[in-house]
Structure 1
Amino acid sequence: MQFDKNTNQWPPQYQEKTLDKPLAVPYLQERPAAIDIKIGRQLFVDDYLIDSHDLERVYPEPELCEQVIFEPKTPLEMNDGYNPCATPFNDGLFYDDQDQKFKMWYHAGWFNGVGYAESQDGINWTRLKELYPERESESVIPIGPGQIRDGAAVWLDYHASEKDERYKLLVFFREFDFEINHYHKKPKHSHDIPGSIPPTERAVLFKSANGIDWTEVTDVGPCGDNTGFFYNPFTKKWVFSLRTFSSLDSRIRTRGYYETEHFFKGANWTAENISFWSRTDIYDMPDEQMGYYTQLYDLTAVPYESIMLGVFNVFMGPPNNVSGIRKQPKICDLKLGYSRDGFHFSRGDYANFISSSREEGTWNYGYAHAVNGGCIVVEDELYFYFSCFSGQSPKFGSHKYAGGNLGLAKLRRDGFAYLTDQGKTGQLLTQPLTFAGSHLFVNVDSSTGQLLAEVVNERGEVISGFSKSDCLPVTADSTKQELAWKEHTLAELSDQSVRIRFYLDHAQLYAFWVSDSSLGHSGGYLGGGGPSAYQGRDKPAQ
């Protein structure tokens, strides 16, 4: 695949040529003369910002909460005991800065409805009917006769121009000419019931001012049941992530890409408008026990500080029919990718970020899914919510789509990757940078050592007043720590092209940024928000 730079075509129009070669990330090879770092914390998830270093990059694992934090309980969620489900699929989970609450939309009962719950701490939840006992339904979206929901996606648009569009929702419906109360009564094919009419498949967009009362707006273009969307604030585009299949092997799931400036008005795409986007590659290794070819089941993304954070849902197997016969959930694992243009993603070390347990009797046996919103900033941590299925069914005993629960994993803020000297001392020199502001901040653990820095010009010469010897050592474990020089501030170098050389001594460096505030505002994007975020922009905790 090759991007025709002469046409400046965007999004890129690639053609598949292999099923397993890693996809190119052009911006890692062709950087600008000076990288603008005015927006957000600058992360070391790849080599984009780095000229040279003698450090080791580590991709930490998150801390997985052992217990499920949300599970089926209500009549709708219990699905009459057949396929209990109370978990986003992908739906969404965001922190609403106006109400100062965590808000979750989720799959309530397999294929039944769109549930809603709120929380003060992101751990303990209050459901819709508990909040508003007068409401007739547990679902915020009416489900009509013969209609069932499949995948859905929610977005809290912090900067919506219209109040009634602050919350945006996509739901994929199937509509039959007869009543479908439970998944197992749905015919696999229309010919399973002679004379029946094949179901109508629709993906519908809704809008809401409060996330509870929704108004249907429009259908979208052609797509599959596993369709989602997100907003890219860097390009100011809405992006729809579409289920597609490989042009080289129609059995292989891939992802298609469509973007538009206008969420509702621009959603009527055609098949020709969908660009090939992503797939698994040779480094997405098969499960050693199952041995199936890995596939990209889903790809969603969220802005985080200066990058787009991608969650790759990698399908490990078994196929639907085998999973159905065994009455076990399909196995999906979640991996992270990182993008600086919203289209191309570097994949880090390809390790699982969140894994299905694969253990019968556990709440997270399989079918892991990301939740729209990605991660939420809570003080010095990131909360990653995810869905998993236990496979446990009161009436069936077990079923591949039973026991949908919500899990939580925690990670240090900016903790996707860090650079360490491994106790041997080391240094890092950045690419040429331009910035605005006067305060250099770092996310660092140098509590058993120190971190120093110097600023050099394009010729590599140390700028007077910004030498290593002028730097005040940082000896702290902090996600937001100012690094300063004795008599000068970076305001003197604002909008100049300079490099920063960091010196690590028994230290781990996660991120750096330049702020115009002594409080360390990064000006970065936080799509999922959080108690420490305001309208998607970083600010100190209150």
Structure 2
Amino acid sequence: MKKLYNNIKLPEEWPPKYEEQNLDEPLKVPYLENKQEIINIDTGRQLFVDDFLIEDTNLKRSFPKPEVSKESIFKPETPLELNGGYNPCATPFNDGIFFDEEENKFKMWYHAGWFNGVGYAESKDGENWVRLQELYPERESESVLNIKPNQIRDGAAVWIDKETNNKDERYKMLIFFREYDFEIHYYHQKPKHAHDDPHSVPPKERTVLFKSGNGLDWTEMSEVGPSGDNTGFFYNPFRKKWVFSLRTFSQLDRRVRTRGYIETDNFFDKSIWGKDNISFWSRSDIFDAPDEDLGYYTQLYDLNAIAYESLMIGTFSIFMGPPNNIAGKRKMPKICDLKLGFSRDGFHWERPDYSNFISSSREKGTWNYGYAHPVNGGYVVLKDEIYIYFSMFSGQSPKFDTHKYAGGNLGLAKLRRDGFAYMTDVENSGNLLTNTIEFSGNHLFVNTNCLKGKLYAEILDENYNVIDGFSADESIAIKNQDNTKTQLTWQIESIGKLKNRPVKIRFYLENAELYSFWVAKESDGKSNGFLGAGGPGFTEGRDC
């Protein structure tokens, strides 16, 4: 039995092999049902997105929504992106957006022209982007990857491997190709899909892994499978595993999309791929309610993940309908919305809030009409905010008027740092008692909004006795401020005195909000946590 960084104990069989029991019930989260005795909090800020850290509370949990850009921040403009006027597209699908700390810039790989190429752009501020040929005029192509005349790319995924010692493999990519026995330049030229015509002859399908030392020049490394479109991958730095998120279908109903899971130490190890290695991972459930106007059964279209501070954040793309052939007839994008899940072991997902995190507008003529997609990486930390990137489709096509796969462009949402959830008192006073925790740091920090109130705390031993010097009366309350990093202290004693000792913290709130807490080794408050796709001023994606 292996123990994780937070003291969660994994079973001997990992990843677990589950038999699907039904299509409706929320999937269980074992580490929440049977909590370990002591939680180690040395890695990252501790977020209150679930009850993992909470033993008892009368506070209320809220889930803020990000501020979403009113217009797209990147859209089709170049010849490759405009796709001959058929299906313009310039957005990650899922490709990737990261902040590269080595070069101090944002980097984006994106779908340039529907099923055409892999575009590349850079940004200094995360909002204004410069394309590949503007950066490097000597390059002949807008695409960083040469797509063969008989190939079309579908879903892709890119990652900056910030932990590798092999600089030739710092950038990793997966692409799902379809290959025909004739040249194909545009989506509408391909034969009908099996979804639309069961007698269609399928093309050869290949899922290919690439490496690069600069993110611009790519070398094919291996072909893997079985797979499918909308297959992606991510890195779990807590366990140092590469995880492939596969499009799969339910064993109970082959019409229902699910997600499969494969993990490996070596990204390019094709020997791991096989039907017996794919674990059933996730799906939609009864709380993913159908769209009242569309009326279709919801499905899990895609699932991406990223390490943020002390946990994994999963972006669930929930398919609302209509199916391919109906969307084609209605000349509208398929509708997907983005929701969030959170994981402490990297496999099981707690979904405490089923409302949309980012929604398709469902309005013709808007840049974000439908087909919302997560972006690999995609969560970048800038000081007190998180920049969250997502793809949307307007459906607008110069030659088709409208098309389900036209008008792919990029949106940006901004969220307070750690702002996925917060605890707050309902009637101007309340408290929260943590489970038993342990730490090796010296300084307690909180992310809190106390502009109209205050926050203070007491520390107890395992038997619920207040420890001398750490009572609520001796706590120096935080007042009249809204800050994502504030140190919480006591009059005489320092919390460093309690390191490596099992304790509980009781936070008291009076008209305040508490987003997270952590115990840092130094007074600068660095959390030793992971920062999604990185950010300016940090060290290779970590707050250390």
TM-score (norm 2): 0.96
TM alignment of 1:528-539, pairs within 5 A: 528-539=533-544
Corresponding residue number in structure 2 for 1:485 = 490
How far, CA to CA, are the matches of 1:265 and 1:358 in structure 2? 41
8 Å CA contact 1:53–1:428 kept in 2: the answer is: yes
Aligned match of 2:263: 259
1:436-457, Cα deviation, whole Å (9 max, x unpaired): 1110000000111110011100
Distance 1:349 1:209 in 2: 40
Q: CA deviation at 1:283?
A: 0.2
Residue 174, structure 1, aligned to residue 182, structure 2 = no
The answer for the alignment partner of 1:511 in structure 2 is 516
Q: In terms of mean alpha carbon deviation, does 468-477 or 41-50 score higher?
A: 468-477
User: What secondary structure does 1:533 align onto?
Assistant: coil
Q: Shift in Å at residue 30 of structure 1?
A: 1.2
How much does 1:424 deviate? 2.0
Distance 1:7 1:98 in 2: 38
Structure 1: gaps of 5 or more residues: none
Q: Does 1:97 align with 2:108?
A: no
1:405 to 409, 415, 424: 409
Matched, 1:35 2:39: yes
Shift of 1:197: 7.4
Distance (whole Å) between structure 1 residues aligned to residue 537 and residue 352 of structure 2 = 27
- Give the conservation status (yes or no) of the 8 Å contact 2:93–2:111: yes
Judged with a 3 Å threshold, the aligned counterparts in structure 2 of structure 1 residues 496 and 320 are, in CA distance, closer, same or farther, namely same
Contact 2:259 2:283 in 1 (8 A): yes
Please report how far the alpha carbon of residue 422 of structure 1 lies from its aligned counterpart in structure 2 after TM superposition: 3.0
Contact in 1 for aligned 2:461/2:467 (Cα 8 Å): yes
Q: Aligned AA for 1:469?
A: D
Match of 1:183 in 2: 187
Flag the 1:147–1:6 CA change in 2: closer, same or farther, 3 A. Answer: closer
Change (3 A) 1:285 1:6: closer
User: Which consecutive segments of 4 or more residues in structure 1 shift more than 6 A?
Assistant: none
- 1:355-410 residue CA offsets vs partner (Å, 9 max, x unmatched): 00000000000000000003100111111100000000001100000000000011
Alignment of 1:186-265 (within 5 A): 186-189=190-193, 198-265=202-269
The one-character-per-residue Cα deviations of 1:124-172 (angstroms, maximum 9, x if unpaired) are 0000000011101100010012111000000111111200111100011
Q: Contact (CA 8 Å) 2:264, 2:272: kept in 1 or not?
A: no
Residue 381 (structure 1) aligned with residue 385 (structure 2):
yes
Residue identity matched to 2:529: G
CA contact (8 A) 2:209 2:223 kept: yes
Query: Given residue 224 of structure 1, which amino acid in structure 2 is its aligned partner?
Result: G
* One of 443, 446, 453 as aligned partner of 2:447: 443
2:469 aligned partner, one-letter code: G
1:491-502 aligned within 5 A: 491-502=496-507
Mapped to 2, the partners of 1:422 and 1:107 lie a distance apart of 46
SS at match of 1:150: strand
> Which AA in structure 2 matches 1:484?
T
Tell me the amino acid that sits aligned with residue 330 of structure 1.
Answer: K
Q: Distance in 1 between matches of 2:46 and 2:489?
A: 17
Contact persistence 1:260–1:266 (CA under 8 A)? no
User: Are the equivalent residues in 2 in contact too, given 1:338–1:347 (CA < 8 A)?
Assistant: yes
One-letter identity of the residue aligned with 2:502: S
Matched, 1:271 2:275: yes
Summarize the alignment of residues 44-443 of structure 1 with structure 2, pairs less than 5 Å apart.
44-189=48-193, 198-266=202-270, 268-443=272-447
Report the 3-state secondary structure (helix = DSSP H, G, I; strand = E; otherwise coil) of the residue aligned with 2:364. coil
Distance 1:6 1:206, change over 3 A: closer
Residue 189 of structure 1: CA displacement? 4.9
Residue 451 of structure 1 aligns to a residue whose secondary structure is strand
**Number of equivalenced pairs:** 534
Change (3 A) 1:46 1:6: closer
Which residue does the alignment assign to 2:461? Answer: 457
AA paired with 2:487? E
Q: Does the alignment pair 1:469 with 2:473? A: yes
Structure 1 pair 267/350, CA: closer, same or farther in 2 (3 Å)?
A: farther
| Residue pair 2:321, 2:336 contacting (<8 A) in 1 also | yes
Whole-Å Cα distance in 2 between the matches of residues 490 and 265 of structure 1? Answer: 46
Question: Is the CA contact (8 Å cut-off) linking 1:172 and 1:225 kept in structure 2?
Answer: yes
* Structure 2 counterpart SS, 1:130: helix
| TM-score (ref. length: structure 1) | 0.96
Distance 2:433 2:170 in 1: 42
Distance 1:6 1:34, change over 3 A: closer
- 1:68 deviates by 0.7
Q: Say if 1:82 and 1:6 are closer, same or farther in 2 by CA, change over 3 A.
A: closer
* Cα deviations by residue, 1:86-141 (Å, 9 ceiling, x for unpaired): 00000000000000000000000000000000000000000000001110110001
Q: 8 Å contact 2:235–2:243 — kept in the other structure?
A: yes
Q: Do the aligned residues in 1 keep the contact of 2:305 with 2:312 (CA within 8 Å)?
A: yes
Question: 2:222 touches 2:270 (CA, 8 Å); kept in 1?
Answer: no
Q: Distance in 1 between matches of 2:10 and 2:81?
A: 53
Quickly say closer, same or farther: Cα 1:208–1:438, change in 2 above 3 A: same
**How far apart are residue 6 of structure 1 and its match?**
11
Q: Tell me if structure 2 keeps the 8 A contact 1:421–1:506.
A: yes
Report the Cα distance in structure 2 between the residues aligned to 1:538 and 1:297, rounded to whole angstroms: 32
Looking at structure 2, the residues matched to 392 and 267 of structure 1 have their Cα atoms a distance apart, in angstroms, of: 42
Aligned-residue RMSD, C-alpha: 1.7
- Matched to 2:181, the amino acid is D
| Partner SS, residue 292 of structure 1 | coil
Structure 1 residues 80 and 351: CA distance shift in structure 2, 3 A: same
